[in-house]
Chain A
């Protein structure tokens, strides 16, 4: 009588079940990714309107209530409803209203001065302050040296002083 031992699955068994395993992997992957997608923050009007301008009003969109600003807000809201990201919305606004719609200009060309000027101004102020403090300390040190009491009269001066005083010695 032939006893059957525990069977090891053959390669052909895996091949037969391959579609099942692939489907299982796909379902698991989807289950992992879905919460991440659901958790992705959705752009809001408030998130966009504090970074763009109402070009006619010359103020931030969030502070503007002109008819043009209201239409601009409606335009942004429609793009949000389409699921666009903040950057995509800002690109669309630039396409419609020009570069002046951005509260902060793009960092290229002459616009880069908007970012460089504060840094340069800070560096110049820091250098000026450092030079000023160094000079002030040096001048203070010189003044101290000038006002330091002398070591006293030289031997020759002391002798002359004694001689002069002796003249008036009573």
Chain B
């Protein structure tokens, strides 16, 4: 191979490498039922320190990705709050605020009187980790940290009663 061909090869390889890096670093990982839930330490929204889904290992967790500017998120908060209060012995509703600013997010929680724990993801990072295409999205996580159910869009009382409750210990009892 001549020196000129080698330089051309290197240039093409560099361009392809850069394109590949860009695609891999921006690509979303779609989460499926049965997969380990994507998890990392996140700041507590409106509080001190950090938290993660694994902090609730051994319990069922309903992870709710939401943002204050999203209208369907407003619709589902009352149902989530009721579900959290009724089932706190066997499940934790865990909100993860995404693509939002903390001032609006805290005002939103205050407006609806939401009391379940909240974490905060800066920017799109968690949305990409979960492979979401919008907000809200809900992921039911079993006590071993695996995704048991995915709901793209808002939940309501009926969905929670018919789809989530039967999976919990004791079922609908």
A95 contacts across to B, CB distance below 8 A = 122
Q: Please determine whether A68 and B99 come into contact, CB atoms closer than 8 angstroms.
A: yes
Residues from 44 to 70 in A contacting B, C-beta threshold 8 Å: 55-56, 67-68, 70
Residues from 110 to 145 in B contacting A, C-beta threshold 8 Å: 122-125
Q: Please determine whether A97 and B99 come into contact, CB atoms closer than 8 angstroms.
A: yes
Residues from 69 to 108 in B contacting A, C-beta threshold 8 Å: 69-71, 99-104
With contacts A72-B101, A75-B104 taken as known, whether A98 is within 8 angstroms of B124 at the C-beta atoms is yes
Residues from 80 to 104 in A contacting B, C-beta threshold 8 Å: 95-101
Q: Please determine whether A100 and B123 come into contact, CB atoms closer than 8 angstroms.
A: yes
Q: Is B67's CB within 8 Å of the partner chain A?
A: yes
With contacts A56-B99, A75-B103 taken as known, whether A67 is within 8 angstroms of B71 at the C-beta atoms is yes
C-alpha spacing A96/B125, complex, angstroms:
12
A67 contacts across to B, CB distance below 8 A = 69-71
A135 contacts across to B, CB distance below 8 A = none
Q: How large is the interface on A (under 10, 10 to 19, 20 to 34, 35 or more residues)?
A: 10 to 19
With contacts A56-B99, A71-B104, A75-B101 taken as known, whether A98 is within 8 angstroms of B69 at the C-beta atoms is no
Q: Please determine whether A71 and B70 come into contact, CB atoms closer than 8 angstroms.
A: no
Q: How far is the CB of A72 from chain B (nearest CB, A)?
A: 7
Q: Which of B69, B71, B122, B124 contacts A96 (CB 8 A)?
A: B122
Identity of the chain A residue whose Cβ is nearest the Cβ of B18 in the assembled complex: A113
A68 contacts across to B, CB distance below 8 A = 67, 69-70, 99-100
B68 contacts across to A, CB distance below 8 A = 71
How many A-B residue contacts, CB cutoff 8 Å?
Answer: 41
B71 contacts across to A, CB distance below 8 A = 67
B104 contacts across to A, CB distance below 8 A = 71, 75
Q: Please determine whether B103 and A98 come into contact, CB atoms closer than 8 angstroms.
A: no
Q: Please determine whether A98 and B101 come into contact, CB atoms closer than 8 angstroms.
A: no
Q: Please determine whether A55 and B99 come into contact, CB atoms closer than 8 angstroms.
A: yes
C-alpha spacing A68/B100, complex, angstroms:
8
Identity of the chain B residue whose Cβ is nearest the Cβ of A68 in the assembled complex: B69
With contacts A55-B99, A56-B99, A75-B101 taken as known, whether A97 is within 8 angstroms of B69 at the C-beta atoms is no
Q: Please determine whether B125 and A98 come into contact, CB atoms closer than 8 angstroms.
A: yes
Residues from 84 to 143 in A contacting B, C-beta threshold 8 Å: 95-101
Q: Please determine whether A97 and B123 come into contact, CB atoms closer than 8 angstroms.
A: yes
With contacts A67-B71, A71-B68 taken as known, whether A97 is within 8 angstroms of B103 at the C-beta atoms is no
Q: How far is the CB of A99 from chain B (nearest CB, A)?
A: 8
Identity of the chain B residue whose Cβ is nearest the Cβ of A66 in the assembled complex: B69
Identity of the chain B residue whose Cβ is nearest the Cβ of A99 in the assembled complex: B123
Q: Please determine whether A70 and B123 come into contact, CB atoms closer than 8 angstroms.
A: no
Q: Please determine whether B123 and A98 come into contact, CB atoms closer than 8 angstroms.
A: yes
Q: How far is the CB of A105 from chain B (nearest CB, A)?
A: 13
Interface positions of A (Cβ within 8 A of B)? 55-56, 67-68, 70-72, 75, 78, 95-101
Q: 20 more A-B contacts (CB under 8 A) besides A78-B103, A98-B125?
A: A56-B124, A67-B71, A68-B67, A68-B70, A68-B99, A68-B100, A70-B69, A71-B69, A71-B100, A71-B101, A75-B104, A95-B122, A96-B122, A97-B99, A97-B101, A97-B122, A97-B123, A98-B122, A98-B124, A100-B124
